[in-house]
Structure 1
Amino acid sequence: MDDLRILHNDTCPICAREVAGYARLARKTGLPLEIDGLDAAPAWGIDRDTAAQSFRVDLNGQRHEGLDAFRLLWARLPGWRWLAWLTGLPGLHWLADRGYRHIAAPILYAMHRRRTRKTP
């Protein structure tokens, strides 16, 4: 069985809700899944701010980020495998990867920065 670990921005309500859904499905189906929030970022070799910028997965010691990280997770979850397959198609992979890296991730990170901004 694969050793699958997620690092995600657990301070993001959208991200936390999505990952909680993955966790419920993983428990229900018996998929071993470890979930780390931003406090675990140093153990991944990055700081909290860097960790907040993208979704990450460690699969058997190999680190993956962004769409490829999602695809690794989706491929193991019933009900999500179709999305892993679909986003693996060459043209669609390119489009989905750019959409995540240049639109979704920056928007979620900007929201994170607003939430964590210190007030004087």
Structure 2
Amino acid sequence: MNSDPDQNRVCAPNTPNQAEDGPAVTLSTPTKAAIETLIEAPIETSTPTVFFNSECPICNAEICHYERLSQAADIRDISSTSGTAKANNGGDIGDGGNTFTPTAIRFQPIADNPDILREYGLSRADIERRLYGLDANGRLISGIDAFIMIWGTVPRYRWLAHTMALPPFRYIGALIYDHIAVPFLGSLNARRKRKAMKSL
């Protein structure tokens, strides 16, 4: 059995000749103490955080895609004088284009700390099953709302965040995520785990 639970998280490094990417940036891994600080921090200094199952190949590939785009957007828009970053299409949804401190969002593999959301009553099995996050107010969100938060910090997907935040689309998106995506990915991951156990 491998000692590294997060060995499947392999995000390709950013390269200058990739149109969607910028220079590589290594994101720090927040500990539980850091998350508690995040919850208590003022809104303007809090960084939204997404917790995802890096051992799910499909989940990991999608999050890596958003992570690279988010890093590239931060790097392109860093101000040399103020040290802040501004997304190409403005700030977060509805904030009037205010600047935010890079990185605009953190992507946290749950394998790094399976009990990181224990204080919210969530086990590792719970956060492996669906996407969870803490928004800039320290509020726990999940499912389609977590995706809307991600899309809202990535200029390329900000239009999608605005669209999916509208009640009819949010409702449909939640139905698709909860009743199609979650069961499908759960079945794939259960099959993958059974296969891994048999190979031991």
What's the TM-score once normalised by structure 1's chain length?
Answer: 0.90
* Structure with larger RCO (C-alpha < 8 A, sep 6+): 1
| Alignment check: 8 A CA contact 1:7 1:41 kept | no
| Alignment check: 8 A CA contact 1:86 1:92 kept | yes
Flag the structure with larger Rg: 2
Report runs of 4+ in structure 1 exceeding 6 Å deviation. Answer: none
The equivalent residue for 1:22 is 66
Match of 1:107 among 184, 188, 196: 184
Give structure 2 stretches of 5+ with no counterpart. Answer: 1-44, 75-101
Q: How many residues align?
A: 120
Paired letter, 1:4: P
Equivalences for residues 40-59 of structure 1 within 5 A: 40-45=113-118, 46-59=122-135
Question: If each structure's helix is expressed as a fraction of its own residues, which one has the higher value?
Answer: 1
Question: If each structure's strand is expressed as a fraction of its own residues, which one has the higher value?
Answer: 1
- Calculate percent identity across the aligned residue pairs: 27
Match of 2:162 among 76, 85, 88: 85
Q: CA RMSD in A?
A: 1.6
The equivalent residue for 1:35 is 107
State the Cα distance separating 1:89 from its structure 2 match.
2.1
| Alignment check: 8 A CA contact 2:164 2:173 kept | yes
Match of 1:13 among 51, 54, 57: 57
State the Cα distance separating 1:34 from its structure 2 match.
2.1
Distance 1:77 1:2, change over 3 A: farther
State the Cα distance separating 1:2 from its structure 2 match.
4.1
Paired letter, 1:55: L
